[in-house]
Amino acid sequence: MRLKNLTDFFTLFFVVIITFCFTSCEEKVPEELPNILWLVSEDNSPLLGCYGDEFATTPNLDKLASEGFLYTHAYANAPVCAPTRNTIITGIYATSGGNQHMRSYYPKSEKVKTYPEYMREIGYYCTNAAKTDYNTNSIEPNKIWDESSNKAHYKNRAEGQPFFAVFNTGISHESSIHKYKPDAELRHSPDEVSIAPYHPATAEMKHDWAHYYDNVEDMDTQIGKWLKDLDDAGLAENTIVFYYGDHGGVLARSKRYVYETGTRVPFIVRIPEKYKYLFPAEKPNSKVSRLISFVDLLPTLLSIAGIEIPEYLQGSAFLGKQKTEDPEYAYMFRGRMDERYDMCRAVRDQKFRYIRNYMPYRVYGQRLDYLWKAPSIRSWEEAYKNGECNETQSIFWNEKPVEELYDTENDPWEVNNLALDPQYKDVLERMRAANKKWVADINDTGFIPEADRVDRAGDMAMYDYMRSGKINLAEIMEAAEIATLGKPENLEKLKTYLKSDESAVRYWGASGLLILKDEAAPAIEVLKASINDESANVVSVVAEALYNLGEKELAKKALLSTLQNHNEFARCHALNVIDCIDEKSPEMIEGVVAMIKKAESTTRNKYDMRAAKWLIEKWGLNPDEYKIDFAW
């Protein structure tokens, strides 16, 4: 190019300089896709040294954090494994897909793809070793993964092929504290362990806390082995490593509960220098305060891999070219936990946690067969019954309030509920509104009771049913919000709900009257008129309300009828009610035994059988005498 004058020369000079500066300042994106390795541990909160826990022994994860980025506000969307994994693999909240109830296996919408399918489409070799537990019967592991087994490994890929691999360890799983280990064999001393303030300092509680720290140490050792394998294979410089716990746990009031201890997880990402453009902070060994949750994992994977994020996904990418602005909130949920019904939703911002309890007439500490295998909770229950628990330790055995609000910065164990404190009215209203917007935006399926949804949706995926135009969800949600407030001034409106054409509205109307207890007495006749409702869920709630209002014989008859229902979740719900009203008449015993004998060969998930088994135990009956077998 020929320059005509000095002005042209300086113009070209500055263009070259500016172009050089811009291209030098931008991080160069490597042409090859990174390998991605997920290391997952089960049932653990951030009880790690890198998170400031000085009692923990976690050298490998501490080292990983020093080489990567530690997320301080990372959350499982559910406080239990199967709904959590369903959320992760689909990229939509399990409450939106209808898979929030623990091990329910409802079908997934065909409109919703899993993350291995996306990754394989662009050439990734995808392996899973070996946990699946996706809480749906319509995800077949061998179809979505290249390998899914205990032997699945990235080393089996083709030469030069990028891999996405998941390794899961159950070392820290809840079951690890079910088998007793003598104090003398523990590496972490029960006498030195710090326990939560809501736990009484029983010998069993301190033992299980110390035992659990041992298991976390063993889990850390396994993580170290997987990281060493990566180093030995010469792949560390080309592999982005994610480590996270699948939810919190495991001591009672953590796993299964939408508190910090149930939903906050350790989350570390190590990114090689080669992929520096992905760094979420200036340099490794940094903490990242962005709110992230598991619904964000799928869009983040797609962002890293350069795949356009589809609009139906409900999370936000926190790495890569499609990374979003930091969100204001993270959202969590609780549905049926095995054989026990409950419904909670939670919202977390950087400082506060809001919880909305949609079944405030149930205690926190509902007896759950699997949870009660731990010596610690059995000792807690005994201490409470013996009057040995203080006010904070006794809350777990009481009915829940409708709303909870915690300042998690100043109250990390979340024991001081601020929901009724006028100083926090603005925070409460803001987070209450965030919850209402969220459940509406995702078409939350939890507002339709489980047995009812089975009958009305059939084989259709609930994700599709909720978007089919067959339901007025706004009407149902409004009924749920008003009914669960427990305000006597809403009595007439609740009676009107019981006459609705929509069964879910009737369910919430009955729930509201149940919550009002004796103040619902003016509604007895309306309740009686609803005792034969076509919805088994409505019948069970109406029966409980009537029983508590003194109409015991009518209530018992309705519950006995529901025990013969074809739907195992209708039976399970009725059994929950029978337990809570503490009914032990001869005809009720006969009805439960008859249900067991009729249902034992047909029930699929056995949660009705678990609930019935507890009643037999609670009533002090000998199964052999009644010729019933719980060998399943």
Q: Are strands 125-129 and 286-293 parallel, antiparallel or unpaired?
A: unpaired
Cα separation of the two ends of the chain:
86
Q: Which one from 50, 81, 389, 572 is the annotated catalytic residue?
A: 81
What's the chain's length in residues? 632
Q: Which of 89, 128, 35 is nearest to 294 (CA)?
A: 89
Q: Which of 93, 75, 78 is nearest to 291 (CA)?
A: 75
Q: Is-contact 415 199, C-beta < 8 A?
A: no
Q: Which of 491, 453, 456 is nearest to 573 (CA)?
A: 453
What DSSP line would sit under 310-366, residue for residue? PTT--S---SSTTPPPPPS-EEEEE--BTTB---EEEEE-SSEEEEEES-TTSBTT-
Match 């909305």 to its residue by tokens: 356
Distance CA 382, CA 389 (A): 10
- Residue 234: which residues within 8 A CB-CB, separation 6 or more? none
Name the token pair of 446: 């939890």
141-177: b or e for each residue (b if 16 or more CB lie within 10 Å)? beebbbbbeeebbbeebeeeebbbbbbbbbbbbbebb
Neighbours of 452 (CB within 10 A): 22
Does the active-site annotation cover 50?
Answer: no
Q: Which of 289, 383, 273 is nearest to 34 (CA)?
A: 273
Q: Which residues are catalytic?
A: 81
